[in-house]
């Protein structure tokens, strides 16, 4: 049995029809309606319809695919970059079904020249790029002692240098105009590494360091180009069905798991609000804060739990295709095999995105309570004086 048909539990099931089986790609309208039904009408969807030009790398599946739909709902024109031409074509149809425009450009983000040519084509067909979202990634689940040099190189080239090349192409166009937003989709693993994903964790650490360096340069130059980074929790994406793995059992995201639409909403929100960094989901906050307070405790905890938590109970046959070097054929959609365990809403994220409103509401309520108490005391004091007289 393939890990890609694995249910998030001891038994297995196939993908639901709209997740995108290779033999029968889903109708774009069904995909869009299902994604919207999973909670995309949240309070952070105050965006008006716009014609912003947005480039998204890794747009064919997972978080990237969900982000395509999210921006399309706002009327944005989209440049879609990924290796899987079939899935990109379907993503493009989804955008068009929502009444917007898209250009799909099969691109390996590890190739700097290909990324630059894609950026030029997006501007030629859609207009000046205003938002660039770096999402594309690959990984390998393996102990360090079994990793190959070429695997480290490939993960670094896609997951780290792909962000660098995308950022450089974006800056080439944004800096002369003195406007634009670059969004780096990171991970809590940029702060707290876990076992069995050394290459991926190292790449996420590198993205964080690169982004902080770039941010200081933009501040020094007083540029209006803005860069922000999101730190994600575990997400239910197809990567766990196609990631290269040497683990005895099928890989899984470390619970608790969130749906990609939660992340997509945070990305779109970040494009409209000035945040230096955004933690998505309480697990991400917990991991980052715990690392700052006591990294040694984190080491011991992950040594005890980190192996089991990244694997299901289903043995991995190791005969399935992986996407490290070549794309896996078919349209795999945004969701992975863990729908039954994935959360479509994050209370932490909602509180984070609405903190100003909550602060204002709380302050107003406190002032009203103080005023009410003063009125009651004054009334009580007046009544007591009248009674004594």
Active-site residues: which are they? 200
DSSP 8-state symbol, 277 = E
- Report how far residue 253's alpha carbon sits from residue 259's, in angstroms, rounded to the nearest whole number: 11
Q: Which of 7, 62, 64, 11 is nearest to 252 (CA)?
A: 7
Q: Which of 12, 9, 10 is nearest to 1 (CA)?
A: 12
- Report how far residue 321's alpha carbon sits from residue 329's, in angstroms, rounded to the nearest whole number: 9
- Report how far residue 43's alpha carbon sits from residue 33's, in angstroms, rounded to the nearest whole number: 18
Q: In what order do the strands lie in the sheet with 234-235?
A: 234-235, 257-258, 342-343
DSSP 8-state symbol, 193 = -
Q: Which of 24, 13, 20, 32 is nearest to 341 (CA)?
A: 13
DSSP 8-state symbol, 84 = -
For residue 237 the two structure tokens come to: 């994406």
Q: Where are the beta strands (DSSP E) in 90-179?
A: 102-106, 131-134, 140-141
Close Cβ partners of 165 (under 8 Å, ≥ 6 residues apart)? 109, 110, 111, 112, 115, 116
Q: Where are the beta strands (DSSP E) in 232-269?
A: 234-235, 244-245, 249-251, 257-258
Residue 327 near residue 242 (C-beta atoms within 8 A): no
The phi, psi pair for 313, rounded to 5°, reads -90, 0
Residue 256 near residue 233 (C-beta atoms within 8 A): yes
Residue 281 near residue 349 (C-beta atoms within 8 A): yes
For residue 43 the two structure tokens come to: 């309070």
């Amino acid at each position: 049995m393939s890990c890609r048909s694995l249910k998030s539990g001891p038994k297995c099931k196939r993908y639901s029809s709209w997740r995108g089986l290779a033999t029968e790609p889903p109708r774009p309208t069904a995909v869009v309606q299902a994604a919207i039904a999973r909670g995309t009408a949240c309070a952070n969807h105050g965006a008006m319809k716009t014609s912003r030009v947005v480039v998204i790398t890794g747009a064919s599946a997972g978080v990237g695919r969900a982000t395509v739909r999210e921006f399309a709902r706002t009327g944005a024109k989209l440049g879609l970059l990924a290796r899987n031409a079939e899935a990109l074509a379907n993503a493009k149809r989804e955008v068009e079904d929502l009444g917007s425009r898209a250009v799909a450009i099969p691109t390996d983000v590890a190739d700097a020249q290909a990324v630059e040519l894609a950026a030029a084509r997006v501007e030629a067909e859609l207009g000046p790029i205003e938002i660039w979202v770096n999402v594309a990634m690959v990984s390998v689940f393996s102990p360090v002692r079994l990793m190959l040099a070429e695997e480290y190189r490939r993960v670094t080239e896609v997951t780290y240098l792909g962000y660098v090349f995308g950022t450089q192409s974006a800056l080439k166009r944004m800096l002369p105009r003195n406007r634009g937003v670059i969004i780096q989709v990171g991970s809590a693993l940029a702060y707290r590494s876990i076992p069995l994903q050394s290459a991926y964790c190292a790449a996420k650490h590198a993205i964080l360091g690169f982004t902080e360096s770039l941010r200081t340069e933009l501040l020094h130059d007083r540029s209006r180009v803005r860069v922000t980074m999101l730190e994600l929790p575990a997400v239910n994406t197809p990567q766990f069905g196609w990631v290269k793995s040497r683990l005895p059992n099928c890989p899984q995201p470390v619970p608790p798991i969130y749906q990609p639409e939660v992340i997509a909403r945070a990305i779109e929100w970040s494009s409209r609000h000035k945040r230096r960094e955004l933690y998505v989901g309480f697990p991400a906050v917990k991991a980052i804060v715990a690392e700052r307070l006591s990294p040694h405790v984190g080491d011991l905890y992950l040594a005890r739990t980190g192996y089991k938590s990244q694997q299901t109970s289903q043995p991995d046959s190791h005969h399935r295709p992986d996407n490290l070097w070549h794309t896996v054929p078919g349209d795999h959609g945004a969701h992975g095999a863990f729908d039954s365990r994935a959360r479509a809403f994050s209370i932490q994220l909602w509180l984070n995105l609405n903190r100003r409103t909550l602060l204002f509401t709380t302050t107003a309520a406190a002032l009203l309570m103080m005023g009410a108490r003063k009125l009651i005391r004054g009334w009580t004091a007046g009544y007591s004086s009248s009674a004594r007289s």
